[in-house]
Amino acid sequence: MSGTGEAYSRRRWTWPAFAAPGLLWLILLFVIPFYAILAVAMGRLDPIFNVGEPVWNPLEWDPGIFGEVINDIFTGQLGVIFLRTVAYVAIASLLSLLVGYPVAYFVARHAGRRKILYLVLILTPFWIPYLMRMLAWVNLLEASGYVNDLLTFLGILAEPRDWLGGRSETVVMGLVYGYVPFLILPLFAALDRIDQSTIQAARDLGASPFRAFLHVTLPLSKQGILAGLVIIMLPMFGDYYTNNLMSKSPRTRMIGNEIDFFVNSNTGESRGATITVILMGVVGLLMVYYLVSVARATREAQT
Amino acid sequence: MSVDVARSPESVETPTAWRRVRTWLANPWGRPRFLTAFTWFYIIWCLIPIIIAVQFGFNDGRSRTAWQGFSLRWYFNDPDLSVWNDPSLRSALFQSLKLAAGTMLFATPLGVALAIGLARWRGRASKPANLLMLFPLVTPEIVMGVALFLVFVYLFQVVQLGTTAQILGHITFTISYVVIVVRGRLFAIGPDYEEAAMDLGASPTQALRMVLLPMLAPAIWASLAIAFAISIDDFVISYFLRGEASTETIPTRLYSGLRLAPSPALNALASILLAFSMLAITAAGLFLRRLRRREGRRGSGVEELARLDI
């Protein structure tokens, strides 16, 4: 009897023990670093060198820099950058959805026997390194590149255009190109899960294909649409590299560029950390939404 | 009689060419022709730029916009500027491989153990633990980059910015992907097998070693390959945690090179990165296919990869 009890308690502690190293790792290198952002954002500024210093005790936090940054958002240049970021992200994710939904829909519903081929083709861009994909477009968009060649050949442009010189449309195109593959997969998964017989039922009851789509397929794929949009909006909000490669101009600066600039220069770490905290505030809601929907999906998968 | 909505192009009886044109004229936007064309446009739009970029890595001249004949100049032959002979490009290649190998070797065991723990543990703390595991997947990379940068600069000062910091950072965000890959298998297998083993007198470690791990093996191999691919693709974390010039990785080197002095050697370097990434992900797909076969389901690893829901 005592043997089984011992075995039972041994089993009870086995599983947490398995999780322990990974959890410890995440606490040391994920949770604590998060706290470090706060400690630097709320820290002191060394008056002589103007260098930020972290303050680890929350009771001694100084909201001075935070106030400055907030002020800059409402009255200064930073507000424009925030609005621009929101606009770019909104337009780029909407365009991504317009491109991604038909593709995911086609592969999930109509690819037939060639489904595997199509899946390989939509998975490939997902795993092509992001920087390589940006390099490809920088090559194409250069003054003497293929895009200008093509457009002047077709007579759409009279002379080559400077695509990489600070154009919003180039940056948004870069974002769409960069992130669509990440949207298509969750969309595909959601559309693929829909039971064919529900659509069949709608059609049998006299719905036109379009109405069946509107009233059955679309609502059933709503979860996938929202999750997919969130999963591409999160990195877009912090993107600085797409924008720096597609345009070297301050006219297209985004929040990510501000963070990159301040953190990677030696003088602005506390300001950079503060903007990061504010960015987290903006995207925090999206993150929570995604985690809740993932948790629900996992529960459903388990039962 | 029901209407077959899910008809694929193949299942339609082959009409005469004229009837095909007529139905198309009657409804040019009807499925699935428009969708087929749209999908192909998307695929071409996605892949043609990459093919062109790879092609220019083999250009004989300095141009990245005009084709001047095939050569391996930018890979090996050029004495100063090729990937092999430019020290900054060559070191970027080795740095990327080093980080990917290190990440793969540490993140996989940590992730597999975490996945097993989280899937079987039913304690009160298991829910927050699960949430903690999911957070790195949704945190914008720039936030993780800043966080790790600050923590290495101000708190864990033993770790200098550079290779060690980069590997630690890569492991941190790769663990969760490994968990996702392995956890799916664990749910599918269910707890019955190892419980049966333990009821028959196996210790938990024996049950794990002799029952669970062999069943998980293909998933573990797949997550090794996926960890490699994720690490070698990473830009932001490597960028924030880089130290001296020798710790530039391929992606960070591409970034600085594109902004300062682009040359076809960058295309060559990017193509090498692409090759490693594709190799790793193909390997992952093959392992996942073996797993599907073993579970008695037909189909390919591709479908498994597409459904990972990362």
- A50 and A172 fall within a common domain: no
How close does chain B come to A21, measured CA to CA in Å? 7
Per-residue pLDDT tens digits for B46-72: 999 999 999 999 988 888 878 888 888
Chain B residues near residue A138 by CB distance under 8 angstroms: 258, 262
Please give the C-alpha separations between residue B205 and each of A10, B105, B195, B198, B201, in angstroms, as whole numbers: 11, 21, 12, 10, 11
- Residue A204 sits at the chain B interface (C-beta within 8 Å): yes
Classify the C-alpha dihedral A248-A253-B140-A192 as positive or negative. negative
- A214 and A169 fall within a common domain: yes
- A129 and A262 fall within a common domain: yes
Domain that holds residue A197: 72-302
How close does chain A come to B125, measured CA to CA in Å? 9
Token readout for A218 is 């679309």
Answer whether residue A2 is part of any domain. Answer: no
- Residue A285 sits at the chain B interface (C-beta within 8 Å): no
Answer whether residue A209 is part of any domain. Answer: yes
Residue A188 has pLDDT above 70, yes or no: yes
The pTM of this model reads 0.89
Contact B172 A30 (CB under 8 A): yes
Token readout for A253 is 């600066």
Indicate the number of domains in chain A: 2
Range with the poorest average pLDDT among A142-156, B138-152, B234-248: A142-156
Per-residue pLDDT tens digits for A19-72: 899 999 999 999 999 999 999 888 877 766 666 788 888 888 888 888 888 888
Token readout for A112 is 């037939």
pLDDT value, residue B24: 55
- A139 and A91 fall within a common domain: yes
Token readout for A249 is 């101009």
A65, A271 contact by CB (below 8 A): yes
Contact A279 B64 (CB under 8 A): no
Token readout for B129 is 């633990």
Q: Which ranges in chain B are annotated with CATH 1.10.3720.10?
A: 87-306
Instruction: Return the closest-CA partner of residue A172 out of A96, A98, A73.
Output: A96
- Residue A299 sits at the chain B interface (C-beta within 8 Å): no
How close does chain A come to B66, measured CA to CA in Å? 8
Please give the C-alpha separations between residue A259 and each of A15, A253, B141, B155, B267, in angstroms, as whole numbers: 40, 11, 12, 20, 28
State the number of CA atoms in the 13 A half-sphere of B214 facing the CB.
Answer: 7
* Amino acid identity at A141: L
Per-residue pLDDT tens digits for A251-278: 899 999 999 998 887 778 888 999 999 9
CATH assignment of the domain containing A212: 1.10.3720.10
- A134 and A25 fall within a common domain: no
Integer Cα distance of B283 and B280 in angstroms: 5
Per-residue pLDDT tens digits for B94-150: 999 999 999 999 999 999 999 998 888 877 788 888 889 989 988 999 999 999 999
Integer Cα distance of B214 and B156 in angstroms: 38
Answer whether residue A1 is part of any domain. Answer: no
- A249 and A230 fall within a common domain: yes
pLDDT value, residue B298: 61
Answer whether residue A3 is part of any domain. Answer: no
Token readout for A194 is 């829909």
The reply to whether omega before B79 is within 30° of 0 (cis) is no
Chain A residues near residue B6 by CB distance under 8 angstroms: 109-110, 196, 199-200
Q: Which CATH architecture has domain B87-306?
A: Orthogonal Bundle (1.10)
- Residue A29 sits at the chain B interface (C-beta within 8 Å): yes
| Band of pLDDT at residue A8, cut at 50, 70 and 90 | low
Q: Specify which residues A52 forms β-bridges with.
A: A45
Answer whether residue A173 is part of any domain. Answer: yes
Range with the poorest average pLDDT among B12-16, B87-91, B193-197, B283-287: B12-16
End-of-domain residue from the set A25, A44, A62: A62
Instruction: Return the closest-CA partner of residue A81 out of A256, A241, A283, A281.
Output: A256
Radius of gyration of chain A (CA): 25
What H or E segment, with its residue span, contains residue B26?
A: helix B17-26
- A163 and A41 fall within a common domain: no
What H or E segment, with its residue span, contains residue B110?
A: helix B87-120
Integer Cα distance of B142 and B147 in angstroms: 8
Please give the C-alpha separations between residue A137 and each of A123, B48, B54, B66, in angstroms, as whole numbers: 19, 10, 12, 15
Integer Cα distance of B148 and B169 in angstroms: 7
Token readout for A184 is 């298509």
| Band of pLDDT at residue B9, cut at 50, 70 and 90 | very low
Answer whether residue A4 is part of any domain. Answer: no
What H or E segment, with its residue span, contains residue A53?
A: strand A52-53
Calculate the average pLDDT of chain B: 85
Residue A84 has pLDDT above 60, yes or no: yes
Chain B residues near residue A123 by CB distance under 8 angstroms: 281, 302, 305-306
Q: Specify which residues A53 forms β-bridges with.
A: A44
Range with the poorest average pLDDT among B65-69, B235-239, B247-251, B299-303: B299-303
Chain A residues near residue B106 by CB distance under 8 angstroms: none
| Band of pLDDT at residue B23, cut at 50, 70 and 90 | low
